[in-house]
Chains A and B, each alone.
Chain A
Amino acid sequence: MTKGGALPKGFERPSDSSSQEKYEEVKSSSKTITLRISKFNPEKDNTSTFLEFTVPYQRWTTVLDAILEVKSHHDHSIGVRYSCRQATCGSCGMIINGKPKLACFTKISELDSDVVTVEPMNNFPIIRDLTVGFERMFTTHKRIKPYIINEESETVGTKEFLQSPEDVEKYIQFSSCIKCGLCNSVCPTMATDSTFIGPQALAQAYRYIADNRDKGKDERLRIIDEPHGIWRCHFAGSCSQVCPKGVDPAMGIQLLRGYLLGYRK
């Protein structure tokens, strides 16, 4: 763009009337989908029901945008948890057209379907509608001590824990976990074993064990080496398929088994 001069050909600023026309054109060209939202209140209902709404969408509209559109204009009572809207907080995990995904990270246009069905995640207790309770996941996450265990500290004195890029490479993908619970929701063992530690916690156990600053390997291996621990994983691999952050919990679990079987030090 030239300062104070004419815009290059094809980049002319539209006049007010043409701008309005463009807006009307976009509005009229916006497509609609049928959004089916699962409604369930455990205090009142015995089974879940689906409410259907017709929602307009654009190329960039996410499933969360559509749910919030419904919540703003059609049904304020819909229970949905969300926060960052950028796949960072891990709050808006739900089942979208049968697959666990983050609602804020799933564009409606990507789904290639005129009907979008949203349900709460499996393997979690439903609080209301699309909101589930994370207590079990947070409890198992805390159990594996998700922090560096080391008597020495970088914060006291001048000690510095140096790591080479190779050292970081061993665990860095596992540190991307946002605790959204999608891996736990799709795990077949979580569905039947109410005390299974789960892929999220196991992946985090590997994350800290593989960190060369950490000295808590034996402690963590003892925690996961129990009847409902790591050995109950059937290696379905679904956890790695659904992770929105590219974490591979199934691989972490296999690497942890290497430590326990003694072929990995």
Chain B
Amino acid sequence: MRESHIMKIHYLTALIAVGFVIIHIMIRFTHGSFANSLEFESVIANYKSIPYAIVLEAMLILISVHGFNGLRIILLELKQGNAYENAVTYGCLTAMIALIAYGSRTIIMASMGMV
């Protein structure tokens, strides 16, 4: 994949994530009491709302993609070398997939009432 394609994804994920975070904050301010929002029942109720679960899943994917690519860039600038660069690229990709998979599992389980 060409670096310009990766960077397009990097910039786009940042921009779209900002949009979703704004939606997330708006929902927090408009639905229910802000003070009680971190109570167990409130959190589970959020996941059970399908549109809100989709917002959370989108934020998870966008921020993970953006964040792990950012980490890859920082690490590539710190040190150079083929073996190191491959390790960083594939390491970040694996960590990103693992985080998205684990986060998605949580969102799916909570929204299906499995917790």
Q: CB within 8 Å of B: which residues of A?
A: 189, 192-196, 225-229, 231-232, 260-261
Q: 24 A-B pairs, CB-CB below 8 angstroms?
A: A189-B77, A192-B77, A192-B78, A193-B77, A193-B80, A225-B2, A225-B3, A227-B3, A227-B76, A227-B85, A228-B76, A229-B3, A231-B3, A231-B4, A231-B7, A231-B73, A232-B73, A232-B76, A232-B77, A260-B4, A261-B4, A261-B7, A261-B8, A261-B11
Asked if A226 and B80 make an inter-chain contact with CB atoms under 8 angstroms apart, the answer reads no
Asked if B3 and A226 make an inter-chain contact with CB atoms under 8 angstroms apart, the answer reads yes
Asked if B3 and A195 make an inter-chain contact with CB atoms under 8 angstroms apart, the answer reads no
Measured between alpha carbons, how far is A122 from B85 in the docked complex, in Å?
25
Question: In the complex, what residues of B have CB within 8 A of residue A194's CB?
Answer: 80
Asked if A195 and B4 make an inter-chain contact with CB atoms under 8 angstroms apart, the answer reads no
Asked if A193 and B7 make an inter-chain contact with CB atoms under 8 angstroms apart, the answer reads no
Closest 3 CB pairs of A and B: A260-B4, A193-B77, A225-B4
Measured between alpha carbons, how far is A260 from B76 in the docked complex, in Å?
21
Question: In the complex, what residues of B have CB within 8 A of residue A196's CB?
Answer: 77
Sample of 8 further A-B pairs with CB below 8 A, known A229-B3, A260-B7, A261-B7: A189-B77, A193-B77, A196-B77, A227-B3, A231-B3, A231-B4, A260-B4, A261-B8
Q: Interface of chain A, helix or strand or loop or mixed?
A: loop
Shortest CB–CB separation between residue B6 and chain A, in angstroms? 8
Q: CB within 8 Å of A: which residues of B?
A: 2-4, 7-8, 11, 73, 76-78, 80, 85
Measured between alpha carbons, how far is A196 from B78 in the docked complex, in Å?
11
Output the nearest chain A residue to B8 by Cβ-Cβ distance. Answer: A261
Question: In the complex, what residues of A have CB within 8 A of residue B77's CB?
Answer: 189, 192-193, 196, 232
Question: In the complex, what residues of B have CB within 8 A of residue A192's CB?
Answer: 77-78
Shortest CB–CB separation between residue B71 and chain A, in angstroms? 14
Shortest CB–CB separation between residue A187 and chain B, in angstroms? 12
Measured between alpha carbons, how far is A228 from B7 in the docked complex, in Å?
13
A193-B76 contact given A225-B2, A225-B3, A227-B3, CB 8 Å threshold: yes
Output the nearest chain B residue to A259 by Cβ-Cβ distance. Answer: B4
Measured between alpha carbons, how far is A262 from B8 in the docked complex, in Å?
10
Measured between alpha carbons, how far is A196 from B73 in the docked complex, in Å?
12
Shortest CB–CB separation between residue B9 and chain A, in angstroms? 12
Shortest CB–CB separation between residue B84 and chain A, in angstroms? 11
Question: In the complex, what residues of A have CB within 8 A of residue B7's CB?
Answer: 231, 260-261
Question: In the complex, what residues of B have CB within 8 A of residue A231's CB?
Answer: 3-4, 7, 73
Question: In the complex, what residues of A have CB within 8 A of residue B78's CB?
Answer: 192
Shortest CB–CB separation between residue B87 and chain A, in angstroms? 13
Question: In the complex, what residues of B have CB within 8 A of residue A189's CB?
Answer: 77
Output the nearest chain B residue to A262 by Cβ-Cβ distance. Answer: B8
Question: In the complex, what residues of B have CB within 8 A of residue A261's CB?
Answer: 4, 7-8, 11
Scoring B3, B7, B73, B85 by chain A CB atoms within 10 A of each residue's CB, the highest score goes to B3
Question: In the complex, what residues of A have CB within 8 A of residue B8's CB?
Answer: 261
Measured between alpha carbons, how far is A110 from B102 in the docked complex, in Å?
62
Shortest CB–CB separation between residue A184 and chain B, in angstroms? 16
Question: In the complex, what residues of A have CB within 8 A of residue B11's CB?
Answer: 261
